[in-house]
Amino acid sequence: MKCIRNLKIATPHIIPRPEHNISRANISEHATKVLYRLKAAGYQSYLVGGGVRDLLLGREPKDFDVATDATPEQVKEVFRNCRLIGRRFRLAHVHFGRDIIEVATFRSMQDASEPGDRETENGMLVRDNIYGTIEEDALRRDFTINALYYNIEDFSVVDYAGGMEDLQAGVLRLLGDPDTRYREDPVRMLRAVRFAAKLGFVVNPACENPLFELGSLLQSVPPARLFEEVLKLFMAGVALHSFEKLRHYGLFGQLFPETEEALAHEDHEFPITFVIRGMQNTDSRIREGKPVTPAFLFAVLLWEPVRLLAERLRAAGESPLVAMQQAGSDILMTQLARVSIPKRFSIPMREIWNLQHRFEQRAGKRPYRLLTHPRFRAAYDFLLLRAESGEVEQELADWWTLFQQQDGDERNQMVRQANNGDGDKPKRRRRRRRRSAKPADPR
């Protein structure tokens, strides 16, 4: 089975309403409103891409995108609540409060050498604003399963690329020559991994083979764009599968080179176990509808190189906190060259790391102060993962779990026992510091 298809415009396969399972009741109210208003204004109007794919698979789409023959400027004339965005691809965003319906004009298959608003750099498409027909637009899309159109005119599904057949067979197939399509946009390699993990599809062999060879092309992608792709890979409920597939194709090291280097040369099992447990934890929380923050996710992904560097700095004489702060700064600076991490996530990520050594300090008032830290819960969850993976003793995690559950007197007793058992200071000195027999202030 070949991945390369004849990209000449062909007669589409029309699947009438009785022969597919898409219902307007399952399309968002705002997307339906955009479809009908464009139609009423005299333009072609289709639901396209992942929304159609997921509806056909019986899944709930995350986004609903619209394709039309109206230019972005014409879309803006139809919708007062519309904003035009993008340089690489000019798009119209129709706003309904926090809900945004993305409207794209049909793209052309015009050759890049011909005049028009299209630009390439080293084979990578950096701007493409030449408009065409729905037939051309379908064949310009990345995967066949994303080139399916739901027509609001007669409620049919329009298939120009054999996407319905691949959808039913569970096959992920690129449109066109795989090498060329990956070079046009290297992010398509990450999309192939994401769809394969999310949908459980098999990547067509001709589309899969270049994944092992072209990973270095990701270095030309802006770090900010890769940040968005990483979130899609790891925060869709299939983080573990995505992680495993990325490593299988050699793509993980292009995104997190320091982490891959540490995992590839680590003698113990706990580093890879730690990442796997972190991915499993993320997937479980998403399935249960619990919040997941990118700060925790990135803290997990970068922990091993940070931990190793902090150990070397401590061996050189730095204090635990200074060692961790310096290691976090150095690894983060290297990471930002590949995948950017906004400060709203990198700051709490580093706080999670910096609090880890404080869990070992269970004497005096330190446990009480740590318990009131705004980032305590995330840091505690991080500690649990470290214990589960075998990096730290389970007793330490169990102590902090119990400490949170006890009342004031029982907490004081736990701290006194920790004082007696730490072996670092003589008991006489600890007794001199206590001014009264009153329990320690839990504040």
Of the residues 63, 179, 330, 381, which is catalytic?
A: 63
Token reading at 281: 């934890």
Q: How far apart are CA 176 and CA 162, in angstroms?
A: 13
User: Which segments of 175-333 are extended strands (E)?
Assistant: 202-203
Of the residues 54, 69, 142, 159, which is catalytic?
A: 142
- The alpha-carbon radius of gyration of the chain (Å, integer) is 27
Helix, strand, coil in percent for the chain, rounding step 5: 55, 10, 35
Is 63 an active-site residue? yes
Q: Which residues pair with 102 in a beta bridge?
A: 65, 93
Q: How far apart are CA 85 and CA 180, in angstroms?
A: 27
Task: Answer for the pair 34, 43: CB distance below 8 angstroms, yes or no.
Answer: no
3-state secondary structure at position 328: helix
Q: Please report where in the chains the tokens 């109007």 appear, as a residue.
A: 45
Task: Answer for the pair 240, 348: CB distance below 8 angstroms, yes or no.
Answer: no
Task: Answer for the pair 171, 206: CB distance below 8 angstroms, yes or no.
Answer: no
Phi, psi dihedrals of residue 174, rounded to the nearest 5°: -80, 150
Is 179 an active-site residue? no
Q: How far apart are CA 348 and CA 337, in angstroms?
A: 20
Of the residues 54, 65, 69, 128, which is catalytic?
A: 65
Q: How far apart are CA 380 and CA 369, in angstroms?
A: 14
DSSP per residue over 52-107, as a string? Answer: HHHHHTT---S--EEEESS-HHHHHHH-TTEEEE-SSS-EEEEEETTEEEEEEEPB
Q: How far apart are CA 173 and CA 162, in angstroms?
A: 10
Task: Answer for the pair 199, 169: CB distance below 8 angstroms, yes or no.
Answer: no
Q: Are β-strands 91-96 and 45-48 bridged in parallel, bridged antiparallel, or unpaired? A: unpaired
State the number of CA atoms in the 13 A half-sphere of 86 facing the CB.
18
Is 381 an active-site residue? no
Residue 250, Cα to own-chain centre: how many angstroms? 17
In single-letter form, the type of residue at position 199 comes to: L
**Could you list the active site residues?**
63, 65, 142
